[in-house]
A and B are shown apart, each in its own frame.
Chain A
Amino acid sequence: MNFAFTEEQEELRKGARSFLENYSASEQVRALMETDTGYDPDIWGRIGAELGWPSLIVPEEYGGSGFTYVELIAVMEEMGRALLCAPFFSSVCLAGNALLVAGTEDQKQEHLPGIASGETIATLAYTEQNGRWDADGVTATAKKDGSDYVLNGTKTYVIDGHTADLLVVAARAEGTAAADGVSLFVVDAGSAGIERRKLNTMDMTRKQAEVKLSDVRVPAANLMGNEGEAWDSMVKVLDLAAVALAAEQVGGAQKCLDMSVEYAKVRVQFGRPIGSFQAIKHKCADMLLEVESARSASYYAGWAAAEDNEELPVVAPLAKAYCSDTYFHCAAENIQIHGGIGFTWEHDCHLYFKRAKSTEIYLGDATYHRELLAQRIGL
């Protein structure tokens, strides 16, 4: 029994922390969040070329380094801690996973090397105005026309949708409902008929876009798997993405706890550090309790994803629900513990509070994931 990172994994995590402390410090995050693209091509280039994070879960035969989901969540946690502004989650955890789970051999050969090197920015165009994550949320259509498919519909809240080179699009055959008839397509984001618009969102550290598809023609070769049978793969992709996002949430929550503890030690009121008041001390202790519990849920889910075992469908929504609640609570408490200064734009508390909310909603909120969990444990 050894439920801990190996020495090598620990090295990877530490390396990520120190890189991000230098290149995703508050000033850099604040500068990038004000841009339209939301990332720094130089830093992103280094993350791909030198650090190789996007290659971690990609097998060597597709240009990756063939590590596992455990390595992935180790770096995701650090990226969450540093609020890294980069298309990592979209390219690797959404589109990368989609290609790995549902892509044909040719599609993997063609697209995974670019994702692994960081040269291809990719994302998943799944949600629509209805904001739903179940199969019925997919209303965009795919119609066979000769040797092509023609896609129509509006995808929105697409992470990095405006900067992506490659989109994995979920669409259904006309007249189908629920899980039946859903297909996935690999679509060049520059295809004719695609119109993209960046959305302004409360969390400025991760960008979302609306992607309109008007008679977008894609060759049949871009269909992932069999027509109309993508739903099971989709479920798996969303589970894997949830595990990655939960790890990011743990990192963010840990950072909120660290900020709170640090401040509680130095901020003096009534002649004592505020951390000496039980009201504050207990808040910090509760945060630690939650963060450590969330970490356990996240690591276990990361292990299940790495093993690709039958526990994944249960532990993924469990982790996403628990880590969402933990992050939001810790981020809110962090503001409260900081008092007036925590309510300012200049202080970083709000950046975490807003990221906590955006990650909570993305992939479905905690209530949604607890419902999924309930269904999957046979309730």
Chain B
Amino acid sequence: MDFDYGEQAEAFRHELRAWLATNLDPGWRDHVDVVDSEASEDILTNEWIKEWSRKLYEAGFKGIHWPAEYGGRGLSLLEQIVYAEEMFRADAPPAGNFLAETLVGPTIIHYGSDEQKKRFLDPILSGEELWCQGFSEPDAGSDLASLKTRAVLDGDEWVITGQKVWTSLGHIADYCFLLARTDPDAPKHKGISYLLVPMKQAGVTVRPLTQISRIAEFNEVFFDEAHCPAENVVGGVNNGWKVAMTTLGFERGSSVTTQALRFRRELEAFIEIAKSTAGAGGRPKSEDPLVRQELAKAYTAVHIMKAQAYRSLTALIEKGDPGPAGSVNKIFWSEYHRWVTELGMSLRGFEGQVIGPDYALDAEQVAYLFAKSETIWGGTAEIQRNIVGERILGLPKEPKPQ
């Protein structure tokens, strides 16, 4: 066992740290009024953050682990981790094209053709093209493979008809990575293709749906004979299920490395609240043995996430694919986060329930409500347990319907 990142990674750390010292205004929060959450519309559309993203891109600090020939930095996963650590350390703004950088980008790198890599990767890193994920449908959520959206090849174009739902950021996205049925006669997992579809076209209608935070961040997306070029299929026609599983693997597994850092900061804020608010007998809540127990449990969980991340990372470096172990991480962090944000709200008491006009929420309130969805999106906590049971433990499947 060895936590030494090695010379190359440390040199990169050095370089990035120096660059941040001269280029990041530590008072950036004064110009940017966004609620801190990586994938929020606020972040993607805020002019200051867009400019910051662009600056990172131009300085070569985007796509650290992506191939250099497609606009990335061509370094190893270790440098990617170092990057996350340093950004955290410098309290840098959340920047980037989250869904694209974490989901479709890595999927294209894994399965895409050379042309696809050339066409799509660089605009993801530069932030020129935003993406959304078109997987779920009204009748195909957990049972994703039962999706009904059809794509039919017409000359050199796919013609797409159907409906997607819960499409995060669909209303601002330029492209959608979409699953469509391309062979209706094949068994359900075998007739699906993974398509890259432009959103700004006549056949696509986006209808926003409001979340429990009153923010309209996801959408219904209707495809009515929408088009995309025939070559925009990733990983081969009717091979989309396999490609989608890779994307979901990234969704469940890869972000765990940076997650522990974010959770650490959030927990520090809760600890501050406990120290600065009075509890029973007027003493700080942090002196309450029950609160101490809970906060110590939270600290333990964040520490375990970090250690677990190192182990996952080791496996990822060796095998190149997070695999089903990503499900273990997803269950752990999503359930932790649901619990700890509830704890945070309990510590704040009444005050934590007071919001601004027009349902304006602060970052902790958003996190508390949004945590309710983290055990749902990317595969629900129940589905992740099924995956752990069946794919890791090899337990028999639940009985099929008669």
**A-B contact sample (13 more), CB < 8 A, given A134-B280, A339-B141, A357-B345:** A127-B350, A200-B356, A200-B357, A270-B401, A280-B382, A335-B212, A336-B372, A336-B380, A339-B376, A340-B377, A344-B212, A349-B212, A367-B346
> 24 A–B contact pairs at CB < 8 A?
A130-B278, A131-B351, A134-B281, A136-B281, A157-B350, A200-B354, A200-B356, A200-B357, A200-B359, A202-B355, A202-B365, A269-B141, A270-B146, A270-B401, A272-B401, A279-B385, A336-B375, A336-B380, A343-B372, A344-B209, A357-B353, A361-B349, A361-B353, A367-B290
Whether A344 and B355, one on each chain, are in contact in the complex, defined by CB atoms closer than 8 angstroms, is no
- For B139, list chain A residues within 8 Å (CB): 268
Which residue from A268, A272, A277, A350 sits with its C-beta under 8 Å from B212?
A350
Residue A358 at the B interface, CB < 8 A? yes
A105 interface contact, C-beta 8 A: no
B282 lies within 8 A of chain A by Cβ:
yes
A269, B214: Cβ atoms closer than 8 Å: no
Q: Which of B340-388 contact A (CB under 8 A)?
A: 345-346, 349-351, 353-357, 359, 361, 365, 369, 372-373, 375-377, 380-382, 385-386
Tell me the bound Cα distance from A353 to B278 in angstroms: 26
**In the complex, are the beta carbons of B278 and A279 less than 8 A apart?**
no
Complex CA–CA separation, A279 to B280 (angstroms)? 38
Nearest first, the 7 closest Cβ-Cβ pairs linking A and B are A350-B212, A345-B210, A269-B143, A279-B382, A271-B401, A340-B166, A131-B350
Chain B hits for A131, CB < 8 A: 349-351
Give per-residue flags for A339-361: 1 if the beta carbon is below 8 A from chain B beta carbons, else 0: 11011111001100100011001
Given A200-B359, A365-B349, decide whether A277 and B354 contact each other with a Cβ distance below 8 A.
no
Instruction: Answer whether residue A214 sits at the interface, using C-beta atoms and an 8 A cutoff.
Output: no
Choice from A270, A332, A335, A361 contacting B142 with Cβ under 8 Å: A270
Q: Is there a chain A Cβ closer than 8 Å to B276's Cβ?
A: no
Taken together as a complex, chains A and B put the C-alpha atoms of A335 and B342 apart, in Å, by 15
> Is the pair A340, B212 in contact by a Cβ cutoff of 8 Å?
no
Q: Provide the bound-state CA to CA distance between A339 and B3, in Å.
A: 39
CB distance from B167 to the nearest CB of A (A): 10
Q: Give the residues in chain B near A358, CB-CB below 8 Å.
A: 353
Number of interface residues of B (CB under 8 A): 46
**B331 CB, min distance to chain A CBs, angstroms:** 12
Shortest Cβ distance from A348 into chain B, in angstroms? 11
**Please, which residues of chain B bring their CB within 8 A of the CB of A361?**
349-350, 353
Is B398 an interface residue when CB atoms closer than 8 A count as contact?
A: yes
Q: Does residue A201 face the partner (Cβ distance < 8 Å to B)?
A: yes
Contact at A271–B400, with CB atoms within 8 Å?
yes
Which residues from chain B sit less than 8 Å from chain A, CB to CB?
A: 136, 139, 141-143, 146, 165-166, 209-212, 214, 278, 280-282, 290, 338, 345-346, 349-351, 353-357, 359, 361, 365, 369, 372-373, 375-377, 380-382, 385-386, 398, 400-401
What residue of chain A has the Cβ atom nearest to residue B398's Cβ?
A277
B357 cross-chain contacts in A, Cβ below 8 A? 200
Contact across chains for B282 and A345 when beta carbons are under 8 A apart: no
Chain A stretch 263-321: residues in CB contact (< 8 A) with chain B? 268-272, 274, 277-280
**In angstroms, how far is the closest chain A Cβ from the Cβ of B84?**
27
Contact with B along A120-147 (1 / 0, CB 8 A): 0000000101111010100000000000
Q: Report the Cα distance A157→B351, complex, angstroms.
A: 9
Report whether A344 and B210 are in contact in the complex, using a CB–CB cutoff of 8 Å: yes
Instruction: Indicate if the CB atoms of B353 and A371 lie closer than 8 Å.
Output: no
A346 and B323 CA atoms in complex are apart in Å by 36
Closest chain-B Cβ to A306's Cβ sits at a distance in Å of: 30
A353 and B372 in contact, given A271-B401, A346-B210 (Cβ under 8 angstroms): yes
CB-CB under 8 A from A157, the residues of chain B are: 350
A residues in contact with B210, CB < 8 Å: 344-346
- The interface residues of chain B lying within 8 Å CB-to-CB of A220 are none
A199: contacting residue among B211, B354, B361, CB under 8 A = B354
Residue of A130, A202, A344, A367 near B353 (CB, 8 A) is: A202
What mask results when residues 22 to 58 of chain A are scored 1 for a CB within 8 Å of chain B, else 0? 0000000000000000000000000000000000000
